[in-house]
Amino acid sequence: MKIDILLGLQWGDEGKGKIVDALAPGYDLVARFQGGPNAGHTIEFNGVKHVLHLIPSGIFHEGKINIIGNGLVVDPVVFRNEVESLGMATASIRERLLISVKAHLIMPTHKLIDAAQEASLGDAKIGSTLRGIGPAYTDKASRKGLRIGDLLRKDFIEIYRSRVNDHLRMLQGYGYSSDLKELEDEWFDSVEFLRQFRTVNADHHIDMALQSGKRVLAEGAQGTMLDIDFGTYPYVTSSNTVAAGACTGLGVAPGRTGEVYGIFKAYCTRVGSGPFPTELDDDAGRMMRDQGNEYGATTGRPRRCGWLDLPALKYAIMVNGVTQLFMMKADVLSGFSEIRICKSYTVAGKEETELPYCLDDIEELNYVSFRGWQCDITGCRSWDDLPPEMKDYISYIEKETGVPIAIVSVGPDRSATIYR
C-alpha cells in the first residue's frame, strides 16, 4: 500500500479538517505531518463545530488510528485543552491517538520568544500566531529542541532547565521579561496529562501499517503558499507544508506516496501580513468574508479575501504533484452577479502565468469573468443539482489546471459534500 496525502494549496484555511473527516471512513490511519497549534481544522456534524489544532481530523471515527507525527511541534497545554474540549472520554481518545516520540515540544519560553521577536519587527511583522511555533522549529534546526521522547528520560528536568536558561538569555537581548512560574506550572501539569498517551516510533508504526495492507492518509496543515521554502517568504510558516513534508514529517519514503489531494477554496483568503495579489478591499471582499465567516479558527483574526488566483493554484499543483482537486466553500460565492478568476499577471510589461520571485513585481492582474449564480446551493448533493453557471466555473478551472475536481463542498457540515 501507499500513503495518500491531503494538503492545502493556498494560504491555509482551505477546509482540510472537513475533508479529512469526510474521507476518514475509507482509511485505517490518519497522520498529521507538520505544523502545530497554529493549525485550526474545523469539523461540523450534528450541529456541533469542533476545531482541532494538533489532533488529526480522523479522531471522531471509531476504529481509526490517529497519529501526531514527528514533523509537528506540540504544546502540552494546547494538547490537554483540545482533548478535554472534544466531548469524548479521555480513555476513548487514548485508544485511537498515538504520538511520535520524535515530535518536538513547545516550551513556555518559546511563546515568549515568539512575542518578543514579533514585537521587535515593528511595522514589518510577519503575522505570527504567537504560539511559539517558529522558535520551537528554530531550536529543532539548531539541534537544541526537546522531543516527546525526552519526557521519558531521567534527566529531563535538567535538560529543560538548560534550554530555559538559553531562552532567558535570548529574551534579555530583546529587553523582554516575564514571570515564568505561572506558565511553567500549567505546562508541567499538562506534561503529566500528555504522559497518559501512548508514544510510538511513528515511522515504524506507519511502515508496518502499509506493509499489512492498511490505508493511511497524511494530513497537512496551513497551505502551500505558506511553505518555508516554496511559499511567499518570509511571510510563511516554519515548516514544509508541501507533499514532500509528509515524507520527512512521518518517515515515509517518496516512492511510497500515492494520491495527492489538493484542497482549495473557490476564492482566496489569507490571514496576517504578506503579499496577496487578488486581495479585495471592497464590497465584494467584505461579502466573501461575511458569507464565508472568514475569521481565523485559531486566532480569530479577520481573513483577507480575494478572487481565485490561478497562477498561484497552478504553482501549488506543480510543487505537490496533485492528482485530485477538492473545491471548498463554493456556497460562499452564491449571490455574486459576477465572479472573477485571475488568469495571469503582468510583470515588467509582459503577461506571465508563472509566479514571479517577488510578488510585489506584479504590475497588473489579468482576469476572466463568469456569470454568478443567484441560488442557494447548500442543499445540493450531486453534480446535476448545481446551477449551470457554477458548472462553467468548475469546468474552466479543471481545463486550465489539467486536474479533475473530485469533490465540491457546498456547506460547512460533513454532509454538504458533492462527490464526482
Which residues belong to the active site?
13, 41
**Under 8 Å between Cβ of 106 and 190:** no
| CB burial string 361-388: b at 16+ within 10 A, e below | ebeebebeebebbeeebeebeeeeebbe
Write out the three cell numbers for 202.
Answer: 511513528
CA distance 215 to 26: 8
Q: 106 vs 53, 130, 372, 408, CA distance in Å?
A: 14, 12, 46, 36
Which residues, other chains included, contact 157 with Cβ-Cβ below 8 Å and sequence gap of 6+? none
CA distance 3 to 214: 9
CA distance 417 to 404: 16
The residues facing 336 across adjacent strands are none
Which three-class secondary structure state does DSSP give residue 210?
A: helix
The residues facing 216 across adjacent strands are 29
Q: Pick from 338, 280, 296, 313: which is nearest to 403 by CA? A: 313
Q: Pick from 312, 243, 334, 252: which is nearest to 69 by CA? A: 252
Which residues, other chains included, contact 358 with Cβ-Cβ below 8 Å and sequence gap of 6+? none
Q: Pick from 387, 311, 373, 372: which is nearest to 342 by CA? A: 311
CA distance 82 to 98: 15
CA distance 328 to 312: 16
CA distance 153 to 250: 23
